[in-house]
Every structure is written in C-alpha cells, then in structure tokens.
Chains A and B, each alone.
Chain A
Amino acid sequence: MLPIPFEITKISKDNAKTRTLLLAGQLPTRPSPGQFVMAWLPGIGEKPIGVAGLAPLRLTIAKVGPFSSAVHQLKKGDFIWLRGPFGKGFKIKGKPAILIAGGYGIAPLTFLAEEMKKRKIKFTLIAGAKTKNELPPKKIPATVFCTNDGSSGAKGFATDLLEKLLSKSAVSCVYGCGPEAMLVKLAEICGKRKIPFQISLDRYMKCGIGICGSCAINGFLACKDGPVFDEKQVAKMPDFGKTKLDESGRRVRA
C-alpha cells in the first residue's frame, strides 16, 4: 500500500501536549481500536500513530519530537499521508471492562471506548497523566481521572486506581496503553489476580508491515503480531519492560 493523502478538516487542542486531527475520508479498510497507521509528512518523516476514532477518522498526536512538532504546525486544509490500518488491535471480550491510559496512551483507548459504547459493553476508563494540563478532555464517557501530582482527579498512578477498582468488582479484561512502566505494573496487578489483559506496546517501526524486523520483541513483531498483545503473548516476552530496539537495532532500555 502506498501513502494516501488525507485532508485535515479540523484540529482540536486536547491539552498542553496533544492535538487531535480530524480527517476527510476513510482508510481503505475499516480500522479496529488499537490498530495503527503509518503517518507521513513529506520531508519530515513517517511514524506509527494509533487510530483515535472513526467518523470522522481521527489521529491524536502528542508533541514529543520533530515529527509530532511538525504535525502540531499543520492547519485545517493541510494534508497528512497515511498507510494502513496495520497490526492487530484490541479484541473486545464483552462484560465489564477496565480501560487504562497513561498520558497520550489515551488515543487508541478513546476509540475502544467508543466501540464498547456502541456495543453496549460496560466499562470504566482510567485516564492518568503527570499533571492536570496533560489530561485528556473530559468528554469521554465513564472516565475517572488521576494525576501523579494530584492537580486534578485522584492523586497517584493510574495503576493505583486500577488496583482499587479490581478489588471492588469483577472485570472480564483490562485494556491498557501508556508508558511501558505503567504496562509492567498493569501486567503484574492482573497477573496476581489472574485477570486477562491486552496492552498496546510502543516499539520503533520502519516498514509497519512485518518485513524489516525493527519492532521485534522476543520473536514477535509489534507491527504485525501487535501492537496489542494479550497476557499469554506477554508471558513469552522476557524483554517486556526491560529492553527495546532503537533505530539501528541496538538494545536500549524500554
């Protein structure tokens, strides 16, 4: 698949760090929550971005480096080029669920929440951030907020709230996206209680289509087998939470 240009119809400023682009048109196939696109800005670069919603197609992008800074310079009417959707997304299991997002990990979970609402599946979404102005907009349903510094919502980590919720009621599955340290904690909490989980892993990607191996993690490819992995797959990943490959393929701390 070659990159397809999409016109930006609207840009919303979500918080101090993230913006959501609303795009005209749809991808060649319908993306599911957790799947990603390779987003290209000619002359700048191409990065994997999780789809944040459909109707209209949305991408939520946090300003973290040169590529995302360039995305934040875009205006209504500009274009962004996409290949995708790629990878395996979340498998919705039904029954009450907990969605847990750390920082800008909220993007694919917003899409998942949208889909669960449509299918009338009960869920609670935990949205955690370092501080108040990095929280997502408070329009997503069934959301509890927390900040590490206590500037908004409960004080503490999103995983603290997860532990509290799990001790109160049974859930069928925990869905997570965020910093790897948070996902490690999530896996530990769910593992102890034998609760299934699905988490979206962030790895450096080049091709996005399962051929270059840049995003390899213990024999899995984040772009093709993931980016969403379940507890059985994560159990076979000794490198999870420890190392990942950089642009050259060198092992660095995850």
Chain B
Amino acid sequence: MRNPTILASGILGVSGDMLIRAAHGGAGAVTSKSCSLEPRVGHPNPTVIESEGLMMNAIGLSNPGVDEEIRELRRAIKDAGVPVIASVFADRLEEFAAVTSRSSEAWPHLIELNISCPNVESKIGMPFSCSFETAAKATQLARSSTKLPLIVKLSPNVPDIVSIARAVEDAGADAICAINTVGPGMAIDIQARRPILSNKTGGISGKLIRPIALRCVYQISRAVKIPVIGTGGIENGKDALEMLMCGARAVGVGTAVYSQGPEVFSKINQELENLMKKQGYSKISEIKLVD
C-alpha cells in the first residue's frame, strides 16, 4: 500500500467509478460496499441521518448482487491503481462460501467478510460476529472458498471482542478490521412522535465512536498476531496516528468522507506524515503498540 488509509466498506457505494474516485482522493486501498449473492434493495428512506459529529445509518445492505458487483469490482481493479478489497456478506451462514468464491472471481486484492452489520440479523437475532461460534464458522466457510487474503470485520457491540478476534484468527482470517458501527442507536422526532429511521434503529459512526474503536483495536492487537485495520471516527492525521499507536497497521476512513469529501484521504496522509516526522518516526512500522 502506498499509504495506510483505506476507504471503509459501505462508503460511496457499489460502483467501480466511485472506488476509483476515492483512490484519486488519496486512499491507499479501497473497500467496496458489501455485496450478497442476490440483489437487495435495503431499507426504505430515511436511511441516514447526521447531527453534530454523529451519523446513524440503516441502509440495510442494499447491493446489486454479486454477479453485477463483479463487473464493478473489475472496473475498479483495472483503474483504481491501489488494492481493491471486495466486501461480502450473507444472511445465512451457508451462503458465506458461495458469495466469497463468486467475489473472488473478480480477483480483488483481498476479501473482507462483513459479519458485523447491525442492520441485518442472523436467525438468532444478532450479527454473526456477536458469537465466537458463528464468527468462526463464517470465517471458516469463507476461508475454504478463496485463496485470496481474508479480512474479517468485527462488531464492537459485544461484551468480549477479544474472544471473537481470537476465534476468527484461529478460523483462518489473515487480518481483522475493527470496528463496524456502534449501537445500534435510535433518534426520535418529537413532532412526528416516532423514530426517524424507517428501520427505527441504525448503526452509529463518526468521530464520537473513535474512543470505542481505539479501545477495541488496542485490545485486539494485544491478543492476535494478524494485522488489524483500525476503523471508526478517524478524521485527521492525529486520529490516524492514535489508531496506529493502538496497534493498527492501517486505518479505515468512512464517515469523514461525508464531512470532507473523497479528498479526505490525501489530507489525512499529509497530516500523518507531518506528525510522524515531528514525533521522530520515519516509517509506519516504527510505531509501536502503546502499553
């Protein structure tokens, strides 16, 4: 990677052209919006609300299905000039194998397994990443369906993220991305006397979740050997450096694309470079996990 910033999954959508735009905006790698075997329309609007550094979304994993997404991925792989990470998810555990193997046909540089979206629930009523058994099972199924490096994205909404991280590492994950959105949360409109999001609840992102992301990445980094991509509320170079000090080897950027546009990656990288120089680091690998 030319730099440690990665476009987080779900941001800027499914089209190859938007992934290319994020790459032009300075991202060191780009992640596609999660796709499933079949197309999904997601939840009705309102699906996203934003207020004072906090974003809440319940898009509901809308995507055109893996067959169409493969074309978009190929377009991005051809022209983005940076590694492309294909994010996949499934409603049912059994489908993780098929969606992983189909996505791999586009030959992205990596596959990211999204087992942590709070807007889609498994049969047991929570995301697969909420139990180490289902998290490990999904990872195993994906692992046996692709030769590509596999990232597993985890949910912070669990009492013990370390046991989940260990479980996916043991199940064959090559890297962990943490964290997905926090909550889910709710927003009420008093005039309407009802929740604003049509799904009633939505995953929280933005700068307010950064302390949770830092803590999760710190705990995971101390517990596993595989690299961690630290994601959650990063908006500037200082945020990125803090995340790297918590053990992350790269940082995901999502909600900041809303406030600062797809050029936010160049800005973060520039700030990070300056700050590293000031702190006496000459490369990322010199940044050690804090005690």
Residues of A at under 8 Å CB distance from B? Answer: 1-3, 5, 38, 40, 42-43, 45-47, 79, 81, 83, 206-214, 216, 218-219, 221, 224, 245-251
Contact = CB atoms under 8 A, between A and B. Distances in A.
B194 A43 contact: yes
Interface string B249-291: 0000011011001000000000000000000000000000000
Contact of A207 (B17, B40, B48, B254): B48
B45 A216 contact: no
B175 to A, nearest CB: 24
A213 B15 contact: yes
Contacts of A1: 49-51
Nearest to A219: B17
B11 A211 contact: yes
A83 B198 CA distance: 15
A45 B42 contact: no
3 closest cross-chain pairs (CB), A and B? A213-B13, A46-B45, A207-B48
Contacts of B47: 206-207, 212
A249 B12 contact: no
Q: How large is the interface on B (under 10, 10 to 19, 20 to 34, 35 or more residues)?
A: 35 or more
Given A207-B57, A216-B17, A249 B192 contact: no
25 contacts: A1-B51, A3-B196, A5-B189, A38-B45, A45-B198, A206-B45, A206-B47, A207-B57, A207-B59, A207-B258, A208-B48, A209-B50, A211-B48, A212-B48, A213-B13, A213-B15, A216-B12, A218-B17, A219-B17, A219-B18, A247-B41, A249-B62, A249-B63, A249-B68, A250-B65
A83 B196 CA distance: 12
Nearest to B190: A5
Given A2-B187, A249-B62, A46 B50 contact: no
Contacts, number: 128
A248 B64 contact: yes
Contacts of A219: 15, 17-18, 20-21
B248 interface: no
B33 interface: yes
B180 to A, nearest CB: 15
Given A212-B59, A249-B33, A38 B46 contact: yes
A127 B50 CA distance: 37
Contacts of A5: 189, 191-192
Contacts of B254: 211
Contacts of A213: 11-15, 18, 33
Nearest to B51: A2
A94 to B, nearest CB: 29
B81 interface: no
